[in-house]
């Protein structure tokens, strides 16, 4: 994409899956890309995400892919950047989840993603007169990722590269406001989808239990 050349692009969660595909695409397109992941010292759960937010603001990124999720932090990044950049022509593209529309039983994850979506929709009326920072949210469906580890027939689901393109294409200038996009892969028969949901739910909860300390563990 020619318009990415020379642009300062920030991506949270850039080392695997969709985030990695976005990172590599932007690099190939000549963008000045900066990734934020645990691998390079930017762990979202440290300092409540302030280290990531402050670095993005200092660097004055022009495009932000708010991709990585950690409880409450992804929403915090969105809201602070959007407020700080109200007088600047920036773009923030958020990776949401289609679980906003059908539950998988991961309540923290689902409520965070619903809040992400609702914020982008509610702030659409402010663009560009009250706030010049353009917002997009993509409620992404099942993607071939570690969440679907152990699930057979992954070809039914969205390829990470194709998912990345959905997000990247939102960079293009628009004469309209596309605040919310829902992207789903092909669905299996209902009985099989229930099995997929149950396996994905177990994987999400497993990841969350490893990452999130309970109050009595602090």
* DSSP character string of 106-161: -HHHHHHHHHHHHHHHHGGGGTTTT---EEEEEEE--BSSGGGTT-S-GGGSB-HH
Kindly report the backbone phi and psi dihedral angles of residue 10, in degrees, each rounded to the nearest multiple of 5, phi listed first: -110, 140
Look at the chain and report how many structural domains it folds into: 1
CA angle, 198 as apex, 193 and 200 as ends, to 5°? 90
Describe the strand order of the beta sheet including 134-140 as a list of residue ranges.
32-36, 8-12, 63-66, 91-97, 134-140, 180-183
Rounded Cα gap, residues 59 and 56, in angstroms: 5
CB atoms within 10 A of CB 97: 25
Range of the domain at 95: 2-217
Query: Which residues touch 208 (CB under 8 Å, ≥6 apart)?
Result: 71, 106, 108, 109
Confidence band for 212, pLDDT divided at 50, 70 and 90? very low
Which 8-state DSSP code applies to residue 35? E
Handedness of CA 60, 66, 71, 75 (dihedral sign): positive
3-state secondary structure of 24: helix
**CATH number (domain holding residue 149):** 3.40.50.720
pLDDT at 143 over 50: yes
- For 15-64, what is each residue's pLDDT tens digit? 999 999 999 999 999 999 999 999 999 999 889 999 999 999 999 999 99
Q: Lowest mean pLDDT of 34-43, 96-105, 143-152, name the range.
A: 143-152
Confidence band for 216, pLDDT divided at 50, 70 and 90? very low
Q: Beta-strand (E) ranges in the chain? A: 8-12, 32-36, 63-66, 91-97, 134-140, 180-183
Q: What is the pTM of this model?
A: 0.87
């Amino acid at each position: 994409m020619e318009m990415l050349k020379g642009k300062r692009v920030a991506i949270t969660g850039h080392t695997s899956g969709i985030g990695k595909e976005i990172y590599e695409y932007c690099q190939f397109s000549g963008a000045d890309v900066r990734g934020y992941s645990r691998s390079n010292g930017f762990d979202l759960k440290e300092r409540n995400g302030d280290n990531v937010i402050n670095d993005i603001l200092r660097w004055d990124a022009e495009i932000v892919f708010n991709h990585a999720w950690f409880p409450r932090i992804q929403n915090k990044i969105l809201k602070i950047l959007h407020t700080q950049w109200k007088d600047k022509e920036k773009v923030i593209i958020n990776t949401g989840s289609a679980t906003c529309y059908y539950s998988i039983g991961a309540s923290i994850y689902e409520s965070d993603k619903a809040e992400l979506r609702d914020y982008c929709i509610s702030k659409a009326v402010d663009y560009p007169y009250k706030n010049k920072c353009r917002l997009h949210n993509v409620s992404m469906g099942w993607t071939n990722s570690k969440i679907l580890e152990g699930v057979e027939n992954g070809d039914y689901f969205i390829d990470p590269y194709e998912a990345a393109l959905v997000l990247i294409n939102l960079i293009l200038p628009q004469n309209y406001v596309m605040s919310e996009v829902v992207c789903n892969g092909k669905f299996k028969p209902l009985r099989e989808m229930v099995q997929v949901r149950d396996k994905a739910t177990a994987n999400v909860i497993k990841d969350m239990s490893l990452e999130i300390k309970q109050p009595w563990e602090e």
